[in-house]
Amino acid sequence: MKICVIGLGYVGLPLLFFLSKKFTVIGYDYDKKKIEQLNSKKDYTGEIGNRRLKKYNLNVTNVQKEIKNFDVYIICVPTPVLKNNVPNLNFIKKSCKIVGKAIKDSKSKPIIVLESTVYPGCSEEICVPIIEKFSNCKFNKGFFYGYSPERINPGISKHKLNNTTKIISASNKSSLIKLKRLYQVVAKKIYVAKDIKTAEAAKVIENIQRDLNIALMNELSMIFNKINIETKDVLRAAATKWNFSYYEPGLVGGHCIGIDPYYMSYLSKKIKVKNNMILAGRKTNEYMKDYIINNLFKLIRSKGTKLKNSNILILGFTFKENCNDVRNSKILEIFDQIKNKVKKVDLFDPIAINNKDIIPYKKNVLKKLSYTKKYDAVILAVKHNFFKKMDIKKILGLCNHNKLFFDLKSIFDKKHSVFRL
């Protein structure tokens, strides 16, 4: 079985790596810089690691003519939203066009698989017609189609590709059998969804549910802060009941949880079904940036310091812990909102230091911490293992005499911080 993986990001690259151990696989990405980095054995995602990458000669390209005549094409590209929060399907459309051209007039009847998150029905409405148009092949005659959503959790080892149940679906039985054989190489458990639309729906509601649960915890944490009780203590007590679902408050960024509700909401409006819950968590979770900023400014002023004279240090600015991805990072959005209101904001994140996406913030990013400079406020924003292992005395040593330490993820004992979620 010859396989082509389209899109070599946080989803596509690990998939390419594991499939290459068993099949003939090529990875395609139109970003020439990514291909150059991979050929230099540099893992820009942090999901594989440079050491493991050096042991294997991954076949990668940005040349479209090199991806012709493969048996399976797997599309792993981002599905963001536009400024008005409607789905941006441009990456998917472009990929389907590329695949369509690659299989034009093909006699091998390839299977095209989408792994990107979409609303239910997107494959049928958007992807299949584009592939038909550019391939000159008829759906379920000249090519077949499958949907198998990515479900990995970047930065978390227990939720990687090889130990997360893989949902698969396909447009016919023979394709389903082939996809099951393919994905059994990379996943311990396979779940066969009833059909493609069901698989699409399953993926998108996973993140909607999570967004709503985190929003609830965020609202509760604001109440608990007001009445001076510790959110973490409340959650530990509540979690002793067998049916309590444990979620923690926090900023919701990245390219999944804060994005996917808009895909289902878009579908809901399109088919004229009223929804009240799907986007209910978005308003609360987006407000958390302002909540943190308001408390930051309030506490700085309470010490007699003018905002325009204050220096702030933010520890961690990726969208989640132990992952170098800064896309849709709420920490960087906080930085953007406060940078012109204070004297200086320094950023430090040892995980993201080599991420090309931080170039716009380069002049504010520290390569290492200096314990000679003292800050009016220090914000520990991301629960990287690096920070969890730090001595609290060292972190407090970064603060000036006012000791304004914001422990947003409640990593250290409450007595050390002036604010936490």
Q: Which residues are catalytic?
A: 256
Tell me how far apart the alpha carbons of residues 205 and 260 are, in angstroms, rounded to a whole number: 8
Distances (CA, A) of 337 to 90, 287, 334, 341: 29, 13, 5, 8
DSSP annotation of 44: S
Residues 6+ apart with CB under 8 A from 157: none
Query: Residue 168 has which token pair?
Result: 């698969």
Phi-psi region of 147 (alpha: psi -120 to 50; beta: other; left: phi over 0): beta
Answer whether 355's CB lies under 8 Å from 349's CB. Answer: no
- Token digits for 179? 């996809």
Rg over alpha carbons for the chain, rounded to the nearest Å, is: 23
DSSP string, 129-195: HHHHHHHT--BTTTBEEEE------TT-GGGSGGGSPEEEEESSHHHHHHHHHHHTTT-S-EEE-SS
Say if residues 3 and 25 touch (Cβ distance below 8 Å). Answer: yes
Q: In which order are the strands placed within the sheet that holds 344-348?
A: 344-348, 311-315, 377-380, 405-407
* Tokens representing residue 75 in the block: 């599309």
Q: Which amino acid is at 170?
A: A
